[in-house]
Chains A and B, each alone.
Chain A
Amino acid sequence: MGENKLKLEIVSAVVLMILLLGIVPFVLDPFRMNLMSKYLAFAFVAIGIVLTWGYGGMLSLGQGIFFGLGGYMLAMFLKLEASAPELPDFMVWSSVEQLPLWWEPFRRFGWTLFFIVVLPAALAYLFSYAVFKKRVSGVYFSIVTLALALTMTVLIVGQQGDTGGANGITDFRTLMQMPITGDGPQRVLYFVEVFVLAAVIGAALFVARSRLGKVLIAIRDQEGRVRFSGYNTAHIKAAVFALAALFSSLGGAFYTLQVGLIAPNAMGVVASVEMVIFAAVGGRLSVVGAVVGAVLVGFLRSYLSETFPETWLYFLGALFLIVVLVLPNGLFGLLDRWMLTREKRRPENINVLGVRA
């Protein structure tokens, strides 16, 4: 990423944080605040998509898997806490008599947190390294991840007794004895979420401007040449993919906390494609743009479906068409271009040869 672009990103990140911490919580009513928290949960995924798709050229249509993994793991902990010492209610309804073995680690918060951070990233690394090693790329990679997202949802819906099936896991009130429902706790959670989001934005910007980010761009543009230069491109791509999975998992955990449930439809094919669209609308090459895209599309969705319940999908569909046809680099691409032309006009930026400095 060029110096100017980085400056633009940092400035916008700071502005974004001022908005999210200083203005949004004091302007929105609790209901809107809760929606905002939900959109920000998707922003985590969108940031990961900027790194993998925008910078790395790997378009995953299955980011919902990692979002869902994070969300489900936290939900399992919360559910066990809510129903202790009994079994979770949906297990009782499906006449499961003993807690499945793979639920056991989620009795403890420490382990839950550990798995939320480590498991999706590890799975993402193993899966994508294998796939990239075989030089599956481009559209094929997208379709394989799409198939994976479908597999996950079919699996979860099918194993009703162990997973809560299509209804998902719901009905929890406390996180380690602290209430998580109601306006006050959700406000606290909102601030925690924004702080973690700030850390994720920082990490993503760091990666994007680091040597790793430069190699990643090189791989996107000419993978063969980078490979011949001695880089293990599969390893680099898989590492970035794992990082994106980690971000998504964190987002899923916050989603569970804020929305109060996690269900297969939050991680399925449709949800996963929509997550890509958040990144596309904001700008596939901008970390901050991804956050803005997630919030913007989320709000548009809520606003339009309330105001035009009959026809709102027209607007949403048209938005995607317009973004792809007119703004291929999203809203931040527009901002970037505008800054660039403004700078070009300044005489001191043009040297003797007439080339932009």
Chain B
Amino acid sequence: MSFDIAVMQAFNGISLFTILLLMSLGLAIVFGLMGVINMAHGELMAMGAYATYLTAKVCEHLLPGWWLAAYLFIAIPVAFAVTFAAGYVIERGLIRFLYNRPLDTLLATWGLSLILQQTYRSLFGAQEVSVPLPGWLAGAWEPTADMQFPLNRLFIIALTAVVGIAVYWLLYRTRWGLEVRSVMQNRPMASAVGINTARVDAMTFALGSGLAGIAGSVFTMVGSTNPGTGQLYIVDAFIVVVFGGVQSLLGTALSGFAIAESQTVLEYLMSGSMARVSILALVIVVLYFRPQGLFASRTRS
């Protein structure tokens, strides 16, 4: 393997890693911190993608041409806002009745995901929709003849870094984050010291959903969206979270990185499907030796 190919492989791995991380960050909060198995997480990503698609359409029709170049900077906050609101409604209307019944959240959110899929089909049709890539994100940066870094991938990497840092700051450097962490660790005790746990739950779930929306919005840059898109992502996202060890956002990030890099390396050596099978088998084996995931936090509970 020449140096250039090695660099490109590493880049592809990082590119896949950022996508996995965006997919699973919201889930890590909802599943890892709250213990809610949200099978509709993929559909929330699709919601973000559709919100982006609609924003692009609106920009195309209403705003002067040069706005189209900047629509992503409108679309990402819009996708976040839409899915944040949806998550809030879902938590208040459904999830809050099912705390401490994790397997029931799974069934209920599966039903919800069917409803959401049907909604997308009714609103947008069964076909794929895609969003035009702004001109400044097309093409690639080519430092040498054999190295090409697609600009949209670079943008995704930068955005993931921003989102990751923002989530870290929110959860570990703000008062609200402190409340979230205390509620997740010990709900009755947090409630006893005067934290409004119901509000914290709703906001946390909404934040997780909003992150799914950002992920969905970003995915429109690499692929098209159809009503079933969400189901493609959901299992991968769960595997990343469980592999990393729930309750550990750092674990989620590291497990996403490990999975993405090994996937790209294996894909270089064998067929895509066999690479995927090997990764999944590897994850199952690792979970056998470390049932709580790679980076489980040590607790007595």
Q: Are B115 and A317 in contact (CB under 8 A)?
A: yes
Closest B residue to A134 by CB, please name it. B291
Q: Are B235 and A147 in contact (CB under 8 A)?
A: yes
Q: Which residues A196-241 have CB closer than 8 A to chain B?
A: none
- Does A35 sit at the interface, judged by CB under 8 A? no
Q: Which residues on the B side are within 8 Å of A134 (C-beta)? A: 288-289, 291
Q: Are B235 and A324 in contact (CB under 8 A)?
A: no
- Does B222 sit at the interface, judged by CB under 8 A? no
- Does A323 sit at the interface, judged by CB under 8 A? yes
- Does B136 sit at the interface, judged by CB under 8 A? no
- Does A192 sit at the interface, judged by CB under 8 A? no
Q: Are B94 and A143 in contact (CB under 8 A)?
A: no
Q: Identify which of B103-111, B150-158, B178-186, B192-200 touches chain A.
A: B103-111
- Does B18 sit at the interface, judged by CB under 8 A? no
Chain B 89-132 interface mask (CB, 8 Å, partner A; 1/0): 00000100110011110111011111101100110000000000
Q: Which residues on the B side are within 8 Å of A280 (C-beta)? A: 107
Assuming A134-B291, A147-B235, is B108 touching A321 (CB within 8 A)? yes
Q: Which residues on the B side are within 8 Å of A138 (C-beta)? A: 102-103
Assuming A140-B242, A147-B239, A313-B117, is B291 touching A318 (CB within 8 A)? no
Cα distance A150–B235 in the bound complex, in angstroms: 8
Interface size on A, residues (CB 8 A): 43
Q: Are A311 and B122 in contact (CB under 8 A)?
A: yes
Q: Are B271 and A314 in contact (CB under 8 A)?
A: no
Interface of B is mostly: helix
Assuming A143-B242, A146-B235, is B103 touching A59 (CB within 8 A)? yes
A147 touches which one: B37, B39, B112, B283 (CB < 8 A)? B283
Q: Which residues on the A side are within 8 Å of B122 (C-beta)? A: 310-311
Cα distance A133–B82 in the bound complex, in angstroms: 44
Q: Are A147 and B115 in contact (CB under 8 A)?
A: no
Chain B 31-49 interface mask (CB, 8 Å, partner A; 1/0): 0000101010000000000
Q: Are B277 and A155 in contact (CB under 8 A)?
A: yes
Q: Which residues on the B side are within 8 Å of A147 (C-beta)? A: 235, 238-239, 280, 283-284
Interface size class of B (residues with CB under 8 A): 35 or more
Q: Which residues A302-324 have CB closer than 8 A to chain B?
A: 310-314, 316-321, 323-324
Chain B 274-295 interface mask (CB, 8 Å, partner A; 1/0): 1011001101100111011000
- Does A119 sit at the interface, judged by CB under 8 A? no
B238 to chain A, nearest CB (A): 5
- Does A124 sit at the interface, judged by CB under 8 A? no
Q: Are B291 and A320 in contact (CB under 8 A)?
A: no
Q: Which residues on the B side are within 8 Å of A45 (C-beta)? A: none
Q: Are A273 and B280 in contact (CB under 8 A)?
A: no
Q: Which residues on the A side are within 8 Å of B101 (C-beta)? A: 328
- Residues of chain B having any CB pair with chain A under 8 Å: 35, 37, 39, 94, 97-98, 101-104, 106-108, 110-115, 117-118, 121-122, 231, 235, 238-239, 242, 271-274, 276-277, 280-281, 283-284, 287-289, 291-292
Task: Using A154-B276, A325-B94 as known contacts, list a sample of 13 further A-B pairs with CB atoms less than 8 Å apart, ordered by residue number in A.
Answer: A138-B102, A139-B37, A142-B37, A143-B238, A144-B284, A147-B280, A151-B277, A311-B118, A313-B114, A317-B115, A319-B111, A321-B112, A325-B98
Question: Could you show 18 A-B contacts with beta carbons less than 8 Å apart?
Answer: A134-B289, A138-B103, A140-B242, A142-B37, A143-B238, A154-B277, A269-B235, A280-B107, A310-B122, A312-B118, A313-B114, A314-B115, A316-B114, A318-B115, A319-B111, A320-B108, A324-B111, A325-B97
